[in-house]
Amino acid sequence: MRSMKNLWPLLALLLWLPATADESNAAEAFLEEAFHGKVPEPAMVWLSGERKQAVARILGHNYPALRIRYWRSDQRSAWILEETGKEQPITIGVIVNDGTLERIKVLAFRESRGGEIRYPFFTDQFKGIGIDDRQELNRHIDGISGATLSVTAMKKVAALALYLDSITGKQDVQTAP
Amino acid sequence: MSRQHHRKQRFKLRSFYVWHRYMGVAAALFTLVIAFTGILLNHTETFRFRDSHVQSTWILDWYGIEAPDQLLSFPVGDRHITLMGDDLYLDRKEIGDDYHDLTGALQLGDMLVVSVNNNILLLTPRGEMIERLKRNDGVPAGIEQIGIDAGGKLAVRTRHEIYRPDKDFIRWQRLDNKGSDIRWATPVPLEPRLKKLLQNHFRGEVLPVERVLLDLHSGRFFGKAGPWLFDIAAALLILLSLTGTWIWLKRRR
């Protein structure tokens, strides 16, 4: 039993390492696919003043950082964002093309329920969606019973990516305001 | 009916009444605790008892809640980044989320850099998160130390290599030299006053008020004998209602 006790930290590490590596790989693969193998250098958008307020309005809470990375090539931008469903953050990749959402994909799902949001039957609804003047999605998204919080998280992330794309497309925001 | 029979009946009634009174007094305190905590528990959401935490030292001591005695602290300028349990602090300010494996912290210009959870946290001097850099942001795996070189640039050391990010922390480059000019961040003992403050803060975030109310309501707050005492109080309440009804019926006759 004593030897088994000593093995637990090693076992935990072995379980943890592939999980973090998978998350990292999923993000890399998402970007590679989004930009057909030519991933541009990341840029940064700072959240302060009006932007911070707008982001807080979209999410219903402050974003937990002052700047967000993104990747842009011409009219297309890619965002890797996190939002909590019920208790755990869900990592979501979003591609925005010319102001509308081209693709949304769950890159890491850590909640015990609500994983249905990963599948195309749900994510396909977001294709071509945009935001209105109030930074809300301009089209209805059908929910999934039993996955309400995860669905809400994905809708928030979609609206956030579209908003951030709209402000980064207009001006240079790579430096802190 | 004889006079003697009447006397017997009155004596019996008075005896019941006395018992009823004693049982009432004995159950009164428990009844008050159960009723009061019951009312409060019905309004947990309104009063946010689930999110509020007990700060009272004696209650925390009663529950045996202790803050970790061992903590890891790195100086950043004239302040400290400290990991206690899974809480990370800039002096007394808690930086949200759960953390583990603090491997270094330092001041880089007007920014604080913290290496924790194998992530690099970039913080403002006020402790606001600028950005949390992870593996998919290019952060090297297995960071063991962070430091500043002679040119004032950040360096991170993994088991075999030393890396340096560009000014925006976008690209990480491996250094060829051994990093002899790098001043690595090293932990320091925290001054006792700050340590005590952090320990109090840590303890004050553990026990939800709702837990204490539930334990008071069930009697578990009073230890192993508590639920039995409350069971006895409940039995007394049942007896009270029966004897009360009986006395009332007898008096009506």
Instruction: Answer whether A9 touches B (CB < 8 Å).
Output: no
Shortest alpha-carbon distance between residue B108 and chain A (Å): 17
For the whole model, what pTM was predicted? 0.70
In the predicted model, what is the mean pLDDT of residues A108-128? 91
* Plot region of B225 (φ>0 → left; ψ -120 to 50 → alpha; else → beta): alpha
Higher pLDDT, A21 or A111: A111
Shortest alpha-carbon distance between residue B99 and chain A (Å): 14
Position A3 pLDDT exceeds 80 = no
Q: What is the pLDDT of residue A17?
A: 46
Q: What is the pLDDT of residues B206-225, one digit of tens each?
A: 899 999 999 999 999 998 88
Position A8 pLDDT exceeds 60 = no
Q: What is the pLDDT of residue B162?
A: 93
Position A25 pLDDT exceeds 60 = yes
Q: What is the pLDDT of residue A1?
A: 42
Half-sphere exposure for A36 (CA within 13 Å, toward CB): 2
What string of pLDDT tens digits covers the 253 residues of chain B? 566 777 777 777 677 778 878 888 878 888 899 999 999 999 998 999 988 999 888 899 898 888 887 889 999 988 999 998 888 999 989 887 788 899 999 999 889 999 998 899 999 999 999 999 988 788 998 999 999 988 889 999 998 899 999 888 888 889 887 777 899 999 999 888 888 888 888 888 889 999 999 999 999 999 888 899 888 888 888 988 888 888 888 777 6
Beta strands per DSSP E along chain B: 72-76, 79-84, 87-90, 93-95, 102-108, 111-116, 119-123, 129-133, 145-148, 154-157, 162-165, 172-174, 183-184
Instruction: Answer whether A73 touches B (CB < 8 Å).
Output: no
Q: How far is the C-alpha of A148 from the C-alpha of A164, rounded, in Å?
A: 24
Instruction: Answer whether A28 touches B (CB < 8 Å).
Output: yes
| B165 phi, psi to nearest 5 deg | -90, 165
Cβ–Cβ below 8 Å for B130 and A66: yes
Position A19 pLDDT exceeds 80 = no
Q: How far is the C-alpha of A118 from the C-alpha of A23, rounded, in Å?
A: 14
Shortest alpha-carbon distance between residue A66 and chain B (Å): 4
Q: Choose from B136, B169, B172 for mutation: most chain A CBs within 10 A.
A: B136
Instruction: Answer whether A64 touches B (CB < 8 Å).
Output: yes
Q: What is the pLDDT of residue A170?
A: 57
Shortest alpha-carbon distance between residue A20 and chain B (Å): 8
CATH code: domain B73-189 is 2.130.10.10
Query: Taking CA atoms, what residue in B is nearest to A84?
Result: B97
In the predicted model, what is the mean pLDDT of residues A7-20? 48
Cβ–Cβ below 8 Å for A66 and B137: no
**Comma-separated ranges of CATH 2.130.10.10 domains in chain B:** 73-189
Lowest-confidence region among A20-29, A155-164, B49-58, B135-144: A20-29
Neighbours of A152 (CB within 10 A): 18
Q: How far is the C-alpha of B138 from the C-alpha of B193, rounded, in Å?
A: 38
Cβ–Cβ below 8 Å for A24 and B132: no
In the predicted model, what is the mean pLDDT of residues A34-56? 91
